[in-house]
Each structure stands twice: as C-alpha cells, then as structure tokens.
A and B are shown apart, each in its own frame.
Chain A
Amino acid sequence: MSELTTIVENTLETRFPEVVVRDERKGYEGFIIQAEKLVEVVTKLRDDFGYDYLSSVTGVDYLPEGKMEVVYHLYKSTGGSALVLKAQTPREVASVPSLVPVYPGAELQEREAWDLYGIHFEGHPDLRRILMWEGFHGHPMRKDWQEAYYEEDSKPYKSRWPDGEVWRSEDKNTFHKNVDYPAGFDPETWVPDGDASLYAGLGRVVKPGNGGGLGTEQVVVNMGPQHPSTHGVFRMVVTLDGETITALKPVMGYLHRNHEKIGERNTFLQNMPFTDRLDYLSSMSNNFGYALAVEKLMGVKPPERAEYLRVIMAEFTRISNHIWAIGFLLNDLGAYFTPMLYAVEERELILDIFEAVSGSRMMCNYFRFGGVARDLPEGVYEKIRKLVYDRLPRKIDELDLYLTNNEILRSRGEGVGILTPDQAIAYSASGPLLRASGVPYDIRRADPYSIYERFDFDVAVRYHGDIYDRYMIRLDEVRQSLRILQQAVRDMPEGPIQEGKPQYQVRVPPGEAYGRVEGPKGELGYYVISNGKPNPWRYHVRAPSFVNLTPLEIMCVGNKVADSVAILGSIDIVLGETDR
C-alpha cells in the first residue's frame, strides 16, 4: 500500500471517528462506514483526497449474520491502489444512501444491486430493476432465494455420482420448464408492467427547447432488443424530437445468464470456463482477471514463463477484440461488412493460435490458479513470432490506410458523441472510452499487475472524446499491444508453466479480493469473497461493458438518432458481459 493511501486512511479515521471503522475481519481490507454518513465521507474523499473514480459497487448478502453489505472500490484517476469502503445494512430492510449524486457512474451498478439483492438506494434517481423485469418475484442473488431448478447449495451435486441415473431438470418440474410461481398467484389478474415504469422515467432529463416556430411532439422509439445495430440483444429506448435525441434509456438483461448466482455455487476452479462466456470476444482477458483475484486470496504467483504466456494471450485478445470492434463500428457507420471481413481474417489467424494452445477458438479456459493450462504446442511459437513481427503490423497499417482519414468516417465521427474528461471519470467510464476522452488511465500502468512493469509501451490517449477518437485509440492500442507482444515473445524464458501441482480442488483462505485487469473493453474486475469453503461466498464481476453504458445517455442526447448507433458501436459492448 502506498504512503499516500496510508495517510488518507489515518486521516479518515481521525476525521470521522466512529463513523469510519477499519474492517478488522480476517482477510478483509478497507473501512466500514456508517450508512447515514456515507455520502458525506465519500464527498470528502473525492474532493480532498482525489478518489474521483468509483470503480465498482456491489452488494453482498451475509445471510448468517443477517445483514447486507454494499462494497465500493474507489480509485484515483491518477493511479494507485484501491480504497475499499463498505456500508452495512440489516437484511430485512436493506437501505443505504445512493452515491449517484457524488459519482454518477454508480447509477447502473446500484440498480443492479437493487435488482439482485433488494438493497434500496435512498436518493437514486431511477431505481428500477435492470437485469430482470419489473414484477419478477424476489431478489435472486439473495442467499435464501432458490430458483426452479435448485438442487443444492454448492457443487458438486451428490446426484451425479456414484448413483448418477441421468435425468433432465425439466422432467422434475410441474411445467417441464424452468419456472416457479409464488404461492397463491393468479395469472388472470396479473397486470404486466409492460415497461410502464421505464417510459415514465424518460422525462427525467431536461429537454432542450424547440426554439421558435411550430410545436413538435416527441416520440419514443425502441431500438432492440432485436436490432442489427445493437451488437446483440441490447435495447435503447430513445425519445426523439424530430431526429434529435432528447432522452435515452439503455435496457438490458436480455442475456442475463445468472453468471454470479451460478458462480457462487461453483467451486473456484469451475468458474474459470464460465468467465470465458462473459466477454466472449476476449475470453483470455476474462480468465486473467479471475485468476488474479483468486491468486491474491491464495497467495500464489505463477512462474515466469506462465506470466509471459498470460501477457501474450491477453495482448492477442486485445488485438483481436479491437480489430473486431473497429470492423463493427464501421458496420454501424454504413461501411457494411467489408472492413469487418478484413478484420475477421486477421482475427481468425489469432484464433488459430488460441485454438492450438487452449483447444477452443473462443472459450479458451486457459488460465489456472498459479499458472496456465498447458505450454505452447510445437510450432506455435514460430507462428506467434511471424504474426507479431511481420503480418499483424503490416495488416494494421493496411487497416489504418484503409479507414483513417476516410472523409465519411471523419464526418460521421468527429464531434459526435462527445464525452469530456470530467464526465468520463465521473461516469466511471473505463478502457478505450476513458482514454479517448483524454484521461491516460490504463491499469497496466496505473496499478500494474502481472509483469506489465517490465514492458516498454505507451498509454494510448486521445483528447476529443468523440467517435473518431475512439476509433483511433483502438488502432493506437493495437500498435502498443504489438510492441508488448514483440518484447514478450523475445524475452519469454523456458521453464515450468504451473506453480505446484495442478489441482481441481484449490484451498482458498477466507477473505476478500478484488482482481482487476485492463481488459480490451475497459476495467474488468472480479470481487471474490471466500469463507474457506470450496466455493466462493460472493463472486461479482465488475463488467466494463456494463459500466461503460452509464454515460451512453449523455453522449447521445443532442445527437441524431442515427448517431446513437455509431456511439454505441464506439463504446464497444459485448452483451454477455453487460448482462452477465
């Protein structure tokens, strides 16, 4: 922990005696703050100590103690390690003050905690369910909430072995489906919400006036969930004044696959392949973050060669993700499919390497706690070398020549969807979105993990914060990734790839850990709590695609409806991660 952090922590305790208490639980860090004083303390932290970036907000259900906890991870946008704050509240009437007035970036994350945990955030401007729909019974992440196919609290299930007569879960359900209804429910009298609460909230933003002349009526347009521009099953509800957007609401949850609920039932290792399916375009980075978080708890470090392999795979992932994102951005801007095809071709070559190394093109499942799954097979090293020294630099230059300075791209992209640096920080934007707005914040430099200190690379940064800069920054980052790759390929030592023996049942001491990596989409964080059992007590993913959608509205308002498609494309979301 840096000196500055210690100073902050000491002052915190003296300045707010009895309000701020050090978290003394074994393996825990940070402070527990009296819920009523939360806003006051964080305002102080933001204004006086520079903790201006709220990374993650999440709820934890401590069922045995009968309380809920909300965990906040604060960072400085100038770099450094986390300040962890916690607010506790009784389980029955869970309520804490909302931090949206201080950090607007908390908006979606607090809604998620409300949806999944039923924690009420006092003062939240638009506290609705976000991943499930209004009217769903119960708050599913609560430890005492059970789904229709509930079998046991933790895996492995006893029914699988030694007397594993096969059955399908649906055969045991009354309706032969994954459904359950509360007692005494009558479907005939049920009135579905039908998004009424969503539409009611659309008037929240102050609308610019129409000026003089004829009066116009605003219309609400739904884009998605099945819409070719939304990169999956995402939905934008926009209010239009003519063609100008006056309000926009992101609606998500159409791919909510209960990653965290399943993750808390899995053993630690079993979660690894599930992380692949978060951001399915960059599974290696997802593995990386989760491995870091659990390794922090376990206190193991992978051997040298494994570290290099991890970096190589993570940077390849970044390249393949960024060229894919560029291709899709151009799709959204109307250059239908041709840039995409060129990008996919290079991506396929990278996927060939992933497939040879890990066994699968997309769902790599390559990282293990304290190492990686297997060494490079024969011939792959040569292929990687040729790719990073010869082909990819050439092809990136070609992509650059092909698209950069294209007049159509410039006129569609420049000055559209602007996010200022202050807004980007306040709205917890991360990754290329943050750096394109002129904030040179890259976790690989700001809070280094693995062996990134050893490599010589620049943090890409652009200053306009518009679509065009977000396109440019991806090209820049690909070039920087290639630099890292070239160094990593050159320096990679021989040696073991796994610390200790590979185990399927790892021992994780009690405690909490927050592992975060600079994923291709932004800050990917894993918050893991272990209570010494084989499966995590809490497993939370701070998904960059999800949090980066918080500033979508302020980026879109005032632009034309066609621009919203491009703005969404320039954020580069993946729905598997947004909805989890």
Chain B
Amino acid sequence: MSEELNTPGYEIPPEMQGQVAITTLDKIYNWGRRSSLWPLMFGLACCGIEMICTAASRFDFARFGMEVMRPSPRQSDVMIVSGTVTKKMIPQIVRLYNQMPEPKYVVAMGACASGGGPFKEGYNVVSGVDKYIPVDVYIPGCPPTPQALLNGLIALQKKIDKQSIKEVRWYQKEPIEAIPIPVLGPDIMDPREYASIREYAQGKLESESSSAAVPAEEAA
C-alpha cells in the first residue's frame, strides 16, 4: 500500500521504509475515494444481471472496495447504468442522480446505456444516458461480460486517480445545479428545451397546413 501511495522524489530513511509514506494530498485523497466506490444498487436490464454476477463469487468486485451496494442514492458514489434507459424511466434516473452526493460518478454499462444499443430505434428508448446526465466511463458490449465491467470500473479508478482537489467541481465556489427532471409529455421533454419544442411544434403545424397535400416530413 505504501508503495502505491509514495510519491517518488522524497527520500525515506531505510529504517522507516514500509512504515511511513510521503505523498501528496491529491494522491491520498484520490486513493481513498477510488478504493471505496460504493455503487448504487440499480439494475435496469440485461446488464444488471451481469452486474450481479460481477458482485457474486466468481468475479467479486468486493476486491475493489465496491461490495457495499447501496439501495439508496444518498449513500452511493457511483451509478452503474446497467441496461436500456427508457423514456419512462429517465425522470427517475435523473432524480436518483440528483440525489447522489458529490463526488459522484456514472458508468454507462453496455451498448444500450451508452448509445441506445440494439433498441436505439425504439420509440421509448433514450439514445444513451449521456443525453441527460454526464457519464464518466462507457463500456461497450451487449452485455459486457463481468470482466469487461471490471475493466470499466478499473478505468474509472484510473480516472479518479488523475483528479485534482483544486479542480474538481464539488470544491468550486459556484453551487452545483441539479439537472432538471424531464417531463413526460406527448414525448419526453427536457424542461430546458420548452421554447425550442414549442417552436418546432409550431413549425410542424405550419408546414402541415401550408402543404396539406405533401405529407409532413418526420423529424428523423
């Protein structure tokens, strides 16, 4: 452990080696955070099963300090979005994300969570959870095997290792705004986009009425 934490360039007397470590604040802070990432107990779809397998005895992510899966977002550090994100579910996912305390991380597990996956064309499928919440690591695969998930989680740990206390968003002066929760309208609506939605719908109405003979073009 002390080897892991030691910052090179400082000489430690031989008799004290293995007992003390000289390190930077960033390093010990990141080490602490990355060694106890508690995931949110949150399985969405197929990938959720592989996530459970990762927690079970063969792959056992307790080895990375992740065994404490928290059912409550208030106690968790990392949200593993494991499966297809649907429009009906996205308000809840955003709400859960908002409820997680900083520092918080999001891992998009599998093709569906990353970019919609095989179901992307579906009318109820969000094409990637990153359309609504920021994502730190994307793991391709359908589903990613437990080892692929572990690989992604190690990638997240590496990302944490590179962070600096001075720059991380949760120590900045300005408050962190919660992400507005999408509203279920005729289709899913982001409250920040109301003006452009109205504009789009008005435009559609006009083009429909002006050229009733020509069918209105789909948005796609």
Closest chain B residue to A147, Cβ basis: B123
Chain B interface size band reads 35 or more
Q: Number of residues in A with C-beta < 8 Å to the partner?
A: 67
A149, B88: Cβ atoms closer than 8 Å: no
- With A170-B127, A185-B197, A225-B92 in contact, do A576 and B57 touch (Cβ < 8 Å)? no
A340, B218: Cβ atoms closer than 8 Å: no
Closest chain B residue to A137, Cβ basis: B186
The interface residues of chain A lying within 8 Å CB-to-CB of B194 are 187-188
The interface residues of chain B lying within 8 Å CB-to-CB of A232 are 43-45, 48
The interface residues of chain B lying within 8 Å CB-to-CB of A177 are 126-127, 131, 188, 190
Closest chain A residue to B67, Cβ basis: A337
Q: How far is the CA of A132 from the CA of B186 in the complex (A)?
A: 10
Q: How far is the CA of A176 from the CA of B131 in the complex (A)?
A: 8
Interface string of B162-196 (1 = CB under 8 A from A): 00000000000000000000011111111001101
The interface residues of chain A lying within 8 Å CB-to-CB of B42 are 226
A362, B143: Cβ atoms closer than 8 Å: yes
- With A180-B218, A185-B201 in contact, do A233 and B58 touch (Cβ < 8 Å)? no
Instruction: List residues of A (246-304) whose CB comes within 8 Å of B's CBs.
Output: 253-259, 261-262, 265, 273-274, 277, 280-281
The interface residues of chain B lying within 8 Å CB-to-CB of A228 are 41, 71
B46, A277: Cβ atoms closer than 8 Å: yes
The interface residues of chain B lying within 8 Å CB-to-CB of A182 are 186, 201, 204
Tell me which of B10-18, B27-35, B112-120, B150-158 binds A.
B112-120
A274, B118: Cβ atoms closer than 8 Å: yes
Tell me which of A104-112, A118-126, A341-349, A488-496 binds B.
A341-349
Instruction: List residues of B (116-134) whose CB comes within 8 Å of A's CBs.
Output: 116, 118-128, 131
- With A186-B198, A254-B88 in contact, do A150 and B53 touch (Cβ < 8 Å)? no
Interface string of A57-72 (1 = CB under 8 A from B): 0000000000000000
B198, A362: Cβ atoms closer than 8 Å: no
Closest chain B residue to A281, Cβ basis: B49
Partner of A257, one of B86, B96, B188: B86
> Does B75 have its Cβ within 8 Å of any Cβ on chain A?
no
Smallest Cβ distance from A301 to chain B, in angstroms?
30
- With A148-B220, A178-B116, A256-B86 in contact, do A135 and B41 touch (Cβ < 8 Å)? no
Partner of B53, one of A186, A227, A344: A344
The interface residues of chain B lying within 8 Å CB-to-CB of A147 are 121-123, 220
Partner of B89, one of A181, A233, A261, A281: A233
A192, B184: Cβ atoms closer than 8 Å: yes
Instruction: List residues of B (36-61) whose CB comes within 8 Å of A's CBs.
Output: 41-46, 48-50, 52-53, 56-58
> Does A361 have its Cβ within 8 Å of any Cβ on chain B?
yes
Interface string of B199-217 (1 = CB under 8 A from A): 0111011001000000010
B48, A184: Cβ atoms closer than 8 Å: no
Main secondary structure of the interface of A (DSSP, over half): loop
The interface residues of chain B lying within 8 Å CB-to-CB of A257 are 45, 84, 86, 119, 122, 124-125
> Does B83 have its Cβ within 8 Å of any Cβ on chain A?
yes
> Does B5 have its Cβ within 8 Å of any Cβ on chain A?
no
The interface residues of chain A lying within 8 Å CB-to-CB of B189 are 179, 181, 187, 190
- With A177-B127, A225-B89, A258-B125 in contact, do A149 and B220 touch (Cβ < 8 Å)? yes
Smallest Cβ distance from A359 to chain B, in angstroms?
11
Q: How far is the CA of A233 from the CA of B45 in the complex (A)?
A: 8
A253, B88: Cβ atoms closer than 8 Å: yes
A187, B124: Cβ atoms closer than 8 Å: no
> Does B145 have its Cβ within 8 Å of any Cβ on chain A?
yes
Among B126, B198, B204, B220, residue most surrounded by chain A Cβ atoms (within 10 Å) = B220
> Does B1 have its Cβ within 8 Å of any Cβ on chain A?
no
Closest chain B residue to A351, Cβ basis: B53
Q: How far is the CA of A535 from the CA of B194 in the complex (A)?
A: 38
> Does B20 have its Cβ within 8 Å of any Cβ on chain A?
no
A192, B185: Cβ atoms closer than 8 Å: yes
> Does A218 have its Cβ within 8 Å of any Cβ on chain B?
no
Q: How far is the CA of A188 from the CA of B194 in the complex (A)?
A: 7
A/B interface sample: 10 pairs, CB < 8 A: A149-B120, A149-B127, A184-B201, A184-B205, A233-B44, A233-B89, A254-B89, A255-B83, A257-B86, A345-B57
Given A192-B184, A340-B56, 14 more A-B residue pairs with CB atoms under 8 Å apart are: A137-B187, A148-B187, A170-B127, A174-B200, A177-B127, A178-B116, A180-B220, A182-B201, A185-B198, A186-B201, A233-B44, A258-B123, A362-B46, A363-B46
When A and B form their complex, which 6 residue pairs have the shortest distance between CB atoms, in order from nearest?
Answer: A258-B122, A137-B186, A147-B123, A280-B46, A184-B205, A183-B205
